[in-house]
Structure 1
Amino acid sequence: MTIKEILTRGPLGFGTAPLGNMFRNIPDEEADATVEAAWEAGTRYFDTAPFYGAGLAEIRLGKNLSKHKRDEYVLSTKVGRIVLDEVVAGPQEFGEKGTLFQYGRKNKVIFDYSADGTKRSIEGSLKRLGVDRLDFVWIHDIAQDFYGDEWLAMFEAARTGAMKVLDKLRDEGVIKAWGLGVNKVEPVEIMLGLSEVRPNGTLLAGRYTLLDHDYALQRLMPLAQEKGVQIIVGGPYSSGILAGGAHFEYSEAPPEIVAKVGKIKSAAERHGVPIKAAALQFCLAHPAAAAVIPGASKPERIAEDHAALKASIPSGFWEELRQENLVSAHAPLPIDRR
């Protein structure tokens, strides 16, 4: 089965990075209410990772999903980082993601893409989530410091370790799909060029959005279609800037991005289009895309996401964006359902 076929309740999932206290200290009650709102709205695909708050997102998600039968939802997490029992005193630094989860748990988090590290990571995730199995497993953030010596060593460790372990687990039916979970296109291209592994999906965050899609459109999306690999689009709101926030790429949005978002918002207002609707539906319009997983930390945001997916968007809106060079002339666009 393909990823799209496995996601029987539709293409809208829930990315749980915010539940790891991303950007702010989120009360447990608010996190619980957000997961409950997602379930009540019909969300049945949940994506998480050990990195999100050093296991905090997995713990919170598992606690809330324990109210439901395991067969009723699809669950994915990631490998490549291991959460240790060791506690660190200050904020941990994670390269391009900086101190993104400084309000998360204080457990030390280390990189490990080896075969043993992959198995250890999965065991830790199963324990924190309180489940007996995972559906999808993504190899996380193997794109940091791309082209550097450190990255090359990380990718080689994943090629000989994590990728082969996940290939075997998928073939044995232990998991249903695996791939990378990254925010750069190039590592996915390289992985798809390997003959010794057979991924059947990939989670790509922030690289096929209204704000940033040219490179993925030209290189990755056609390659994914050729290889039969489906893309789950993460970060459709580009770290929040497309949903009324101030962040882009995990930090404060630069002036040129703010200006571009302003132009998109102005066009959306002229055509009566919720900008969230434009962001989500653009991602899913490409035939290589199987799902989109916006994050949320407030219950009301969930309702907005579900409404956005159903909203009608007039073709004139997309025509204006193309005329203003705000979307690629080659990008597949949603069909006007009015």
Structure 2
Amino acid sequence: MSLREFLPGRLGFGTAPLGNMFRAIPDEEAAATVEAAWDQGIRFYDTAPFYGAGLAEERLGALLATKPRDSYVLSSKVGRVVLDEHETGDREFGEKGGLFEHGNANRMLHEWTADATERSIEGSLKRLGVDRLDIVWVHDIAQDFHGDLWLHKYEEARTGAFRVLSRLRDEGVIKAWGLGVNRTEPIELTLALDEPRPDGFLLAGRYTLLDHQHALGRLLPMAQAANVDMIVGGPYSSGVLAGGSHFEYQQAPPEIVERVGRLKALTERHGIGIKAAALQFSLAHPVAAAAIPGATRPGRIAEDIAALNADVPAAFWHDLRSAALVAPDAPLPQGA
């Protein structure tokens, strides 16, 4: 099933920040942000056990428990099982180390086997307080893995999670499944297989104004040929395109800060916001079905909706291309 057949619009809500990403967020602030998303018409919510070791799912579930289940689309992920036991001290998340240091202290099992997949879904349903998920993403295959270990973990997912999720889709338990990653390679490999065939993929941080060339080279043509949809995660590149200081989960390096400065100067010259340019660029590719920016402050939701609907002049996109701030083959919004 194409994701576009049941997604309720092109803007969703990514809940990674609700897991206390980068900072400890008061429960009241997190609740107000989710309420703001609902009140302003957002009906697609994406979450994961990894986000604060279940904290984001718990916070999202507190709102969804009050809403009719058929009134929204919900996705979560498998690949990390949240255990009841707690850990002390630092936890090793590779390049995502420290990202959720203020989240729950539960230990997490990193595994993509069939058993772990079913356990992960069961845990998500419990934390969210719902009876079903609409989309399930296989989370972070290849994260921090290289060489033979990467292939071993991928094969674990292919023979475990992929097959479980294909069965659940065929049985009507879920509507769709795919990969939720910030690497293009596992999606490319999956699209090259005859089966199991994913319905779509969530690509985080790899189709943005700051990072899109690699995806354009191989992945997106493959997805377009296979009629597989993309959900754009992290359209603001971890926040640096929205006034923040993070890029790729870390402090933005000088060269990224300089590039953002050039982008911001161009948007100001055309009288538009940089968030509008970033969001509309990410959604301009024919494969992009929706984007799911995250937020922890209620006011950010209105900003995202305004960015999606902003009137960006064709002259801006022309100047963006002329300044070599986007790849020459990157699709631009219609009319540009």
Q: Same fold (TM over 0.5)?
A: yes
Give the match's secondary structure for 2:180.
Answer: strand
The answer to whether the 8 A contact 1:206-1:236 is kept is yes
> Does structure 1 residue 270 correspond to structure 2 residue 273?
no
Q: Residue deviations 1:34-59, cap 9 Å, x none?
A: 00000011100000000000000000
Separation in 1 of the partners of 2:149 and 2:100? Answer: 22
Separation in 2 of the partners of 1:132 and 1:118? Answer: 16
> Which residue number in structure 2 is paired with residue 152 of structure 1?
151
> Which residue number in structure 2 is paired with residue 211 of structure 1?
210
Separation in 1 of the partners of 2:156 and 2:106? Answer: 24
Residue 210 of structure 1 aligns with an amino acid whose one-letter code is L
TM-fit CA distance, 1:234: 0.1
Separation in 2 of the partners of 1:105 and 1:334? Answer: 41
Q: Residue deviations 1:102-133, cap 9 Å, x none?
A: 00000001201000100000000000000000
Separation in 2 of the partners of 1:149 and 1:248? Answer: 29
> Which residue number in structure 2 is paired with residue 138 of structure 1?
137
> Which residue number in structure 1 is paired with residue 70 of structure 2?
71
> Which residue number in structure 2 is paired with residue 252 of structure 1?
251
Give the match's secondary structure for 1:305.
Answer: helix
> Which residue number in structure 1 is paired with residue 169 of structure 2?
170
The answer to whether the 8 A contact 1:19-1:52 is kept is yes
> Which residue number in structure 1 is paired with residue 5 of structure 2?
5
TM-fit CA distance, 1:148: 2.8
Separation in 1 of the partners of 2:169 and 2:211? Answer: 31
TM-fit CA distance, 1:336: 4.6
> Which residue number in structure 2 is paired with residue 292 of structure 1?
291
The answer to whether the 8 A contact 1:143-1:183 is kept is no
Separation in 2 of the partners of 1:312 and 1:220? Answer: 29
Give the match's secondary structure for 2:289.
Answer: strand
Residue 258 of structure 2 aligns with an amino acid whose one-letter code is A
Separation in 1 of the partners of 2:63 and 2:91? Answer: 27
Separation in 2 of the partners of 1:309 and 1:91? Answer: 38
> Which residue number in structure 2 is paired with residue 108 of structure 1?
107
Separation in 1 of the partners of 2:146 and 2:199? Answer: 25
Separation in 1 of the partners of 2:71 and 2:312? Answer: 31
Separation in 2 of the partners of 1:147 and 1:84? Answer: 26
Q: Residue deviations 1:204-224, cap 9 Å, x none?
A: 000000100011112111110
Aligned length: 336
> Which residue number in structure 2 is paired with residue 80 of structure 1?
79
Deviates more, 1:321-330 or 1:148-157: 148-157
Separation in 2 of the partners of 1:277 and 1:91? Answer: 37
> Which residue number in structure 2 is paired with residue 327 of structure 1?
326
Deviates more, 1:157-166 or 1:145-154: 145-154
CA RMSD of aligned residues (A): 1.0
Residue 270 of structure 2 aligns with an amino acid whose one-letter code is H
Q: Superposition pairs for residues 293-308 of structure 1, below 5 Å?
A: 293-308=292-307
The answer to whether the 8 A contact 1:75-1:136 is kept is yes
Q: Superposition pairs for residues 161-240 of structure 1, below 5 Å?
A: 161-240=160-239
Residue 213 of structure 1 aligns with an amino acid whose one-letter code is H
Separation in 1 of the partners of 2:321 and 2:232? Answer: 21
Give the match's secondary structure for 2:221.
Answer: helix
Residue 125 of structure 1 aligns with an amino acid whose one-letter code is S
Give the match's secondary structure for 2:281.
Answer: helix
TM-fit CA distance, 1:196: 2.3
Q: Superposition pairs for residues 303-314 of structure 1, below 5 Å?
A: 303-314=302-313
Separation in 2 of the partners of 1:81 and 1:52? Answer: 10
TM-fit CA distance, 1:92: 1.3
TM-fit CA distance, 1:86: 0.9
Deviates more, 1:244-253 or 1:194-203: 194-203
The answer to whether the 8 A contact 1:49-1:77 is kept is yes
TM-fit CA distance, 1:61: 0.2
Q: Residue deviations 1:167-207, cap 9 Å, x none?
A: 11111111111111000111100011111211011000000
User: Normalized against structure 1, the TM-score is what?
Assistant: 0.98
TM-fit CA distance, 1:95: 0.7
Deviates more, 1:11-20 or 1:319-328: 319-328
Separation in 2 of the partners of 1:143 and 1:164? Answer: 18
Give the match's secondary structure for 1:180.
Answer: strand
